[in-house]
Amino acid sequence: MAIGLHKSDIKNPVMRWVDERLPVFTMMQKEYGTFPTPRNFNYFWNFGALAMINLMIMIATGIFLAMNYTPHTAYAFDSVERIMRDVNYGWLIRYVHMNGASMFFIVVYIHIFRGLYYGSYKAPRELLWMLGVTIFLLMMATAFMGYVLPWGQMSFWGATVITNLFSAFPVVGQHIVTLLWGGFSVDNPTLNRFFSLHYLLPFVIVGVVFLHVAALHITGSNNPLGVEPKGPQDTIPFHPYYTIKDTVGIIVYLMVFAFLVFFMPNYLGHPDNYIPANPLSTPAHIVPEWYFLPYYAILRAVPDKLGGVLLMFGSILVWFLLPWLDTSKVRSMKFRPIARIFLILWVFAFFVLMYCGAMPAEQPYVIISQFATAYYFAYFLIVLPALGKLERTPQLPESIARAVLGDRVMGGGPMPVGAAAKPMEKA
């Protein structure tokens, strides 16, 4: 490309002046205006935008909380209650942040499920998927450290249990734990560094989200049929079609969010976290936040500490390999009748693990967790690699437009099996 001013189509002289020197308006128009998007998204495709909105809400509320929070073991609990009582609308900011974490995980879990169901991780979107898994890992670290900050009983004991996991690693384990703690137990240095990292990591997430979106705009979006767009008849411009569809989703999401914040703000939390941290008194049952329960169940399903820790981390890390573990060329589970059943079972196992994670580590929950854990991994390591070779799939639709609009609009030609034309919203 030759050096010189960018050729801009912008009419407004001021915007044009900027655009010629830094084509941000051209870029926005290209990536969010005319960006060709498959015409057949269902509402599952809202959740990427929702996650983005949620991240921004978390950062905005977090900045205001940090202005009023004191990261010291002697003051942290009271400073949070001061926010609740004396800071103007502090209760609102804090409850939005606190429930925002839960909403974030709900949204991202659905976003991940969307990827699993419609095969969004398959070539050429492997890197896009792996960046997403990276975001999820960063989110988990951020959420964990954020939960420590109010310095309640679950903050303290959750931090103790989770940081102690690293001691399972041979040789380096104890050193890692000492480094995390900044001493020899969870104490003020731990709280200080967790606060610092909790403020830092969201901006790292923003960076990886940028890469995630950039990669998405190279490959383009997957869609419910899992068939790549073959021409302009298969796509529509992002604006106004998907800006308005995302708006509808955002409002529904905000209603669920608002209901939690205003009417049951503590429902998803644990009451013990309103008891100030006390290193001398261990709660009867130490449980993490609900979104970590499945991994907690996997951890406790293994009798060996190191084995449990490895399986727990492995349960997420295995997602990185998913694009190569799934050997089927067919993306969408819509056209994979057998794999679909196994995926539904996998989701079931995920909920079972979530349930067992909240239960005490005793029978029958341990044995149930073990079976669910086994299936969790078997789905990725056995079922998906094997099914790609064994499963017989119906013929895929010729194109998105033909599947969506039907022969009446598109003119003659055979309809593909199992892909009857349906109205847009009900794909």
Partner 1 sequence: MKRYLKAFAVLAGLTAVAVPVAVYAAGEYDKPRDARFGFASLLGTFDRSSAQRGLQVYQEVCAACHGLRLLSFRNLLEIGLTEEQARAIAANVQVTDGPNDEGQMFERPGRLSDRFRRPFANEQAARAANNGAYPPDLSVMVKARKNGANYIYSLLTGYRDPPPGVTVGDGMNYNPYFAGRQIAMANVLNDDQLEFADGTRATADQMARDVVTFLAWASEPETEQRRRMGIRVLIFLAVGGVLAYMVKRKIWADLKTKPA
For 227, the token pair is 């068939």
Q: Helices 305-325 and 153-165: crossing angle, nearest 10°?
A: 80
Smallest gap from Cβ 345 to partner 1, in A, equals 11
The H-or-E segment that residue 237 falls in is: strand 235-237
Task: Between 303 and 423, name the residue whose CB sits nearer to partner 1.
Answer: 423
Task: Between 235 and 328, name the residue whose CB sits nearer to partner 1.
Answer: 235
Smallest gap from Cβ 168 to partner 1, in A, equals 26
Cβ atoms of 296 and 372 closer than 8 Å: no
Task: Between 19 and 272, name the residue whose CB sits nearer to partner 1.
Answer: 272
In terms of Cβ atoms closer than 10 Å to its own Cβ (0-12, 13-18, 19+), residue 182 is middle
Smallest gap from Cβ 404 to partner 1, in A, equals 9
What are 354-357's contacts with CB under 8 Å, separation 24+?
A: 354/290, 354/293, 354/294, 354/297, 355/293, 356/293, 356/297, 356/301, 357/287, 357/288, 357/292, 357/293, 357/294, 357/295, 357/296, 357/297, 357/300
CA dist 16 → 22, 25, 31, 35 (Å): 10, 9, 18, 21
Smallest gap from Cβ 351 to partner 1, in A, equals 5
Smallest gap from Cβ 258 to partner 1, in A, equals 5
Please count the other Cβ atoms lying within 10 Å of the Cβ belonging to residue 32.
14
* Backbone angles phi and psi of 235, in degrees to 5: -125, 160
**Spatial separation of the C-alpha atoms in residues 265 and 191, rounded to whole Å:** 24
CA angle 48, 53, 59 (to 5 degrees): 125
**Spatial separation of the C-alpha atoms in residues 328 and 343, rounded to whole Å:** 14
* Backbone angles phi and psi of 237, in degrees to 5: -65, 145
Task: Between 247 and 282, name the residue whose CB sits nearer to partner 1.
Answer: 247
Q: Which of 170, 153, 131 is nearest to 307 (CA)?
A: 170
Smallest gap from Cβ 251 to partner 1, in A, equals 4
Tokens 């341990």 sit at which residue? Answer: 366
**Spatial separation of the C-alpha atoms in residues 247 and 424, rounded to whole Å:** 17
Smallest gap from Cβ 139 to partner 1, in A, equals 19
Task: Between 15 and 256, name the residue whose CB sits nearer to partner 1.
Answer: 256
Return the active site residues: 217, 221, 245-246, 289
Task: Between 2 and 284, name the residue whose CB sits nearer to partner 1.
Answer: 284
Cβ atoms of 135 and 212 closer than 8 Å: yes
Residues at the site binding partner 1, with contacts judged by CB under 8 A? 39, 78, 81, 84-85, 91-92, 95, 232-233, 235-236, 240-241, 244-245, 247-248, 251-252, 254-255, 258-259, 261-263, 265-266, 271-272, 274-275, 284-285, 290, 293, 334, 344, 347-348, 351, 354-355, 358-360, 401, 405, 409-410, 423-424, 426
Task: Between 102 and 167, name the residue whose CB sits nearer to partner 1.
Answer: 102
